[in-house]
Structures are given as structure tokens and as C-alpha cells.
């Protein structure tokens, strides 16, 4: 189990944007952290009221947003317009090319969210947009599948052999999660604190797991976590 402490992440502070990078991104470069398996980007973003990312393009990337607090407004060249809030997960498959903007939908409160990029298993896919709400009750004391290759169990579909689970753990809530053989996993603590296989983790911390069959979550303090079940390759290929 390899720990990635929150304090070791890259940082971009632009005034309107405070962004912490788990992997190399933009002007932050760390050759030891160029992604993990097919996971390329995890940025923890805080955007001031009324500010955001102007229209820009993406291509051949699976991009999803996971809102922790506030409201994030999305518009894209596919004609999609939406506002996502805590519990919502938004997936944009850029494929042959998409242009989009993301703004804090509030004029009074900051928005706090994770933006995550997964490398697709092929290039040139048709662009698509998906959005789904996952209620807290579905994640309470357990890991809920939110993203999968085939959209299993009401999850969003991704063009990659990857699965993403979200869970909420507090107090005595606990789960032992079994991973398939010959798989990697990455666990990111979005907020709060908990123990993972006996290791205490706090908000922003993450761990890389290689060929571990069981992952245990326990002793949470209002913890919200994401678990990525991934192919057994060290870094993304794209």
C-alpha cells in the first residue's frame, strides 16, 4: 500500500480557483506521479462564486465531476446544459472532440468538487454526456458503484475497463471490499477521515493498491471516499 499524502499534492492558486493536483497537471510536474493505471487526473477544485472555466476543448478523454459542496454549471458543444450538486456525478466522454465550460452556479457560495480524468480504451468515440444522482442512503456504510464499462447497477458508462465506487463512512460503519484478482485500486478520501486496512487517512489523502484482494474501511469521521478498480498497469497509455 503506497500512501499519497494530501499535503504532497501539487497546488494552483489563481485567486478565483484553488486546485490541488494528485497527479502531474498543468504547471505541476512530478515524474513519480504521472497517473496510476488508466487514472490520469484527480484535481480537487474550489471555485469562487460566479467564477469558472471558460469554454475550452477536450478530445479522447473520459472526464467526470463529483461535487462535494455547492453547485457546478456545465454547458457544452453537444447542447447539454446542467447544474450538478452534491450526490450528482457527471460524465463527459470527449471522444472526437467537445468544447465546454464549467462555472460556479452560485453568486454567493463557493463550489467544491473533484474533476477526474480516465484514459479511454480507444480513440475517436462519439462524444456523449451522462449525469446521475446517487443518494446518500445508497452510499451510507457501503461502496456504491457509480461508474463502470457497461453502466451496471445504474452507474454511468466509461470507455475503459475501470470501475469507480463511492462510499460514506461514519462511526461504526464499516465494509470489507473484495477486489478481483490481478487488479490495481486507488482510494481517494474526498472528505473526513477513516481507516483503510488499518492506515489512518484524512481528507485529500490517497493510496495506491497493487494486487491487494481485500480493502477494509472502518472508523470513519464523516468520511466520503472514492475507490477506483483498475487494470494492473502503472501509468496511463494514451
Residue 54 has pLDDT above 90, yes or no: no
Non-local CB neighbours of 139 within 8 Å, separated by 6+ positions: 166, 167, 168, 224
What mean pLDDT is predicted for residues 154-167? 98
What does the pLDDT read at residue 153?
Answer: 96
Give the tens place of pLDDT for each residue, 36-51. 999 999 999 999 999 9
- Alpha-carbon distance values, 197 to 34, 137, 187, 215 (Å): 25, 24, 11, 6
Residue 71 carries which DSSP code? -
With 80 as the cut, is the pLDDT of residue 238 above it?
no
Instruction: Return the percentage of the chain with pLDDT > 90, whole number.
Output: 89
Tens-digit pLDDT profile for residues 182-224: 999 999 999 999 999 999 999 999 999 998 999 999 999 999 9
Instruction: Write down all domains in the chain, each with its CATH number in brackets.
Output: 2-230 (2.60.120.10)
Instruction: Please report the pLDDT score of residue 220 as a whole number.
Output: 97
Chain-wide mean pLDDT for the chain? Answer: 95
Amino acid at each position: 500500500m503506497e500512501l499519497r499524502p494530501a499535503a504532497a499534492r501539487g497546488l494552483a492558486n489563481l485567486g478565483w480557483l484553488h486546485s490541488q493536483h494528485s497527479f502531474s497537471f498543468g504547471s505541476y510536474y512530478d515524474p513519480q506521479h504521472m497517473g496510476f493505471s488508466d487514472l490520469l487526473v484527480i484535481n480537487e477544485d474550489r471555485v469562487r462564486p460566479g467564477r469558472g472555466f471558460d469554454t475550452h476543448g477536450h478530445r479522447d478523454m473520459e472526464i467526470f465531476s463529483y461535487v462535494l459542496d455547492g453547485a457546478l454549471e456545465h454547458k457544452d458543444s453537444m447542447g447539454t446544459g446542467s447544474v450538478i450538486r452534491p450526490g450528482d456525478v457527471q460524465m463527459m466522454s470527449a471522444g472526437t472532440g467537445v468544447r465546454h465550460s464549467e462555472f460556479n452556479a452560485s453568486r454567493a457560495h463557493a463550489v467544491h468538487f473533484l474533476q477526474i480524468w480516465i484514459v479511454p480504451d480507444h480513440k475517436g468515440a462519439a462524444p456523449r454526456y451522462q449525469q446521475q444522482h446517487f443518494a446518500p442512503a445508497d452510499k451510507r456504510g457501503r461502496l456504491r458503484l457509480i461508474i463502470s464499462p457497461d453502466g451496471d447497477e445504474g452507474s454511468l458508462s466509461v470507455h475503459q475497463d475501470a470501475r469507480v465506487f463511492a462510499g460514506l463512512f461514519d462511526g461504526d460503519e464499516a465494509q470489507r471490499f473484495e477486489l478481483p484478482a490481478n487488479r490495481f485500486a486507488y482510494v481517494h478520501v474526498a472528505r473526513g477521515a477513516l481507516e483503510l486496512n488499518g492506515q489512518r487517512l484524512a481528507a485529500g489523502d490517497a493510496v495506491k493498491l497493487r494486487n491487494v484482494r481485500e480493502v477494509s474501511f472502518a472508523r470513519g469521521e464523516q468520511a466520503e471516499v472514492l475507490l477506483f478498480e483498475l487494470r494492473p498497469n502503472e501509468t496511463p497509455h494514451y
